[in-house]
Structure 1
């Protein structure tokens, strides 16, 4: 059986696309959603801070970002940010395991692995392009099957070379992570135990599909990683150090609320049955009942949490959120005020309070809503919902220029550059020239136009 000449060139084009994809890398954030939760973000920041400092980085400059995805995964994607899937936290047994993952990812950051990724891709691309050219020439000369064989062999060699480069980076990140943990006086037990979880996943995959080829993996096999690092982890003076019980209690809460929020409600209630009267179980059931549209049952669980810890800001946040989303905004205001105060004005919780104040439709609450939301966006400018709500507050107060400015901020954050420019220009037309708000609107318009031009290119 032979292929037509046009078919061969179609195959060449397809394989060139594969080569370019290999060279450019993947875009892991493209189809994933970021979860924002004040309690979880505070927890991740606290457990990562000593490791970040041990890595020679500034804790305030490194972000630990939660991705809403059930897969067990974590990654870096440029800059000083570590992305952790919610599924990884759900599968973790303790804080130390999450710290082991964070330490590994920081090894990628300090090693400059994202920047150096092009080195591995360059070598692989060279092999691929050469094999494509030779294969295409053979195909054009009539040796179709031979040409295809050359191309496919070249692709296999290129992928193998790229993956080998990637495995070296992963092993380097593992070693760096162990060093960071030791320097931070944190046990490496969690890193080893998490490798065992990954090892079990590999065995499950192999038994279901096919044997795992160690030379066609992006990471060294988990069993090999564990064996390589075990001696260094065991020698560490921090090996037997236990995690602070207060931190561990926070972990159980975070894990429970993620399961309650991310799992199907039936699944979450099965994992945390009514017989479990722990704080974490009440937390998980409150989220599960809320997601399942049973607000009364959700509030019953929250009431039990509040009885256990009346001043806990995150329990009050959840109480206010359920009331607000159940159409009871006036009742939501009091617990949300308590949550803002108890969390030291967490911007995420403050934006929720601002929303509740507006939802009461009481003009007496407008000034407070505006002021609360101004503080929220000053502390966290990357929250489109807060900017949207602030714009509503300004509009209801009759301050249209600043409503337009807040709208421009929101559109710029969400990538709608055309509307960002239009809103910024509308704000500039009515704001006093030279004021800080005018200058900010001007900056948004300039940046949005530049971004739109770059996209057209």
Structure 2
């Protein structure tokens, strides 16, 4: 699976192969012109090769979960502070991808693959990965990647000029050879630049772990996992040439000397944080894995909290709500007022057609956490109850949810539904415009915003917001038309 733009993966990189240009039949009486055209095509392939490293783009689905996001924020806060950043401005989010990987892609966001969490043995290993990615953010590596591309491009263009001169002088084969060496040198330049960034992020991550008083053992353990993966893939271990990353063995040797002399080397993991990690790992496995696999990993004989958590999701996915609720009952017996256990109970009841029963546990969960994701679920249950007496509460709950988390399309959808049910079509249109604008559907956002403007009182906050969405969406639509 392709990685998002700006990927700075920890896993062994994919080695790209670029096919040869198709053969085109040309007149045989102009060998120099034919050679120049071949050189131009090859140069284009070199540029595409560089772009492939810089812009391997694919949008994986983001896994939004209140407990997981709270855990990630608490786990990474000491590292973020050690990196000189403000924890409230940095987000560590999870995407649904089975690869053992993490990356940054602009802004102060760290994206962690679900596969990495599932394969991590403890929270310390995840902290080591997050520290590395923070090193990319603090070092401005995504922005600075253009420097590596610029240098490589300069080498390619210079080889084109020299090669063209040689061809013009009658040395067609020599010119093509110069051009080919230029491509190779350009790619080597970019790969060396990328490896230097990775090594820099490794050392920066080590500094953050040390400053936060967190052991680097987890970091080394995780690199050993990657090294084992390299062995399985038969990746040569003699040198890093031709790779975007240093070999894991090289990174381990460098970092071991740094970590083993650090005062935090033998410091144990916080037991409470480790227990939270085991919970979110189990619920993640239960959510993304096939139910049969989850039940093998967490068999009925395992009566731990994480096992009950994982099996609850597995049974719910399998459409066995009573078995899922039995697992939740076991969780609530251990911690009757845990907001995330209450959230899961409400979710199962709601999604199995019992919205009225879902409302009380979700209300308690919202009261204890004020989490906008849980509030959105409560709003959904209140609307799904089909009781008009619940609509006012649903509106208030959902308005509070989007005020704290505007980037939640489902919350905007539910808010639009409750407005429509209450006969407020103008605000229903505004909520719909917000949702479409967030999803990048500019034409639909424009239509909904225009509808909202027509029904809202001029000068109000909602009216001005509808105007803003309409203006931005109209400009985007016009720009798209010009490109056609």
Q: Report the TM-score range of the alignment, normalised by the length of the smaller protein.
A: over 0.9
Alignment of 1:61 with 2:89, yes or no, is yes
Aligned to 1:178: 206
- Number of residue pairs aligned between Structure 1 and Structure 2: 453
Q: CA RMSD in A?
A: 2.4
Q: C-alpha displacement at 1:242, in angstroms?
A: 1.5
Q: Which segment is superposed worse, 211-220 or 58-67? A: 211-220
Alignment of 1:214 with 2:235, yes or no, is no
Q: Which segment is superposed worse, 126-135 or 33-42? A: 126-135
More helix by share: 1
Q: Residues 346-374 of structure 1: CA distance to partner in whole angstroms, max 9, x if unpaired? A: 00010011111111111111111111000
CA contact (8 A) 2:198 2:246 kept: yes
Q: Residues 57-85 of structure 1: CA distance to partner in whole angstroms, max 9, x if unpaired? A: 01011111211101011111111111111
What 5-or-longer segments of structure 1 have no aligned partner?
none
Q: TM (normalized to structure 2)?
A: 0.88
Q: TM (normalized to structure 1)?
A: 0.93
Equivalent residue in structure 2 for 1:273, among 293, 296, 299: 299
Secondary structure of 1:206's aligned partner = coil
1:434–1:157 CA distance, 2 compared to 1 (3 A): same
Distance 1:75 1:197 in 2: 17
Distance 1:18 1:341 in 2: 57
Aligned to 2:80: 52
Distance 2:380 2:238 in 1: 51
CA contact (8 A) 1:74 1:101 kept: yes
Q: C-alpha displacement at 1:154, in angstroms?
A: 3.3
CA contact (8 A) 2:239 2:247 kept: no
CA contact (8 A) 1:206 1:212 kept: no
Equivalent residue in structure 2 for 1:332, among 358, 361, 366: 358
Secondary structure of 1:235's aligned partner = coil
Q: C-alpha displacement at 1:256, in angstroms?
A: 0.7
1:204–1:57 CA distance, 2 compared to 1 (3 A): same
1:323–1:212 CA distance, 2 compared to 1 (3 A): farther
CA contact (8 A) 1:74 1:82 kept: yes
Aligned to 1:4: 25
Q: Residues 148-180 of structure 1: CA distance to partner in whole angstroms, max 9, x if unpaired? A: 655544333222211110010111111111111
Secondary structure of 2:94's aligned partner = strand
Distance 1:263 1:152 in 2: 47
Alignment of 1:86 with 2:114, yes or no, is yes
Q: Which segment is superposed worse, 12-21 or 60-69? A: 12-21
CA contact (8 A) 1:202 1:212 kept: no
Alignment of 1:318 with 2:377, yes or no, is no
Within 5 Å, give how 1:13-412 maps onto structure 2. 13=41, 16-20=44-48, 22-23=50-51, 25-27=53-55, 30-131=58-159, 151-206=179-234, 214-343=240-369, 345-412=370-437
CA contact (8 A) 1:324 1:332 kept: yes
Distance 1:213 1:148 in 2: 29
Distance 2:86 2:293 in 1: 40
What 5-or-longer segments of structure 2 have no aligned partner?
1-22, 28-33
Q: C-alpha displacement at 1:121, in angstroms?
A: 0.7
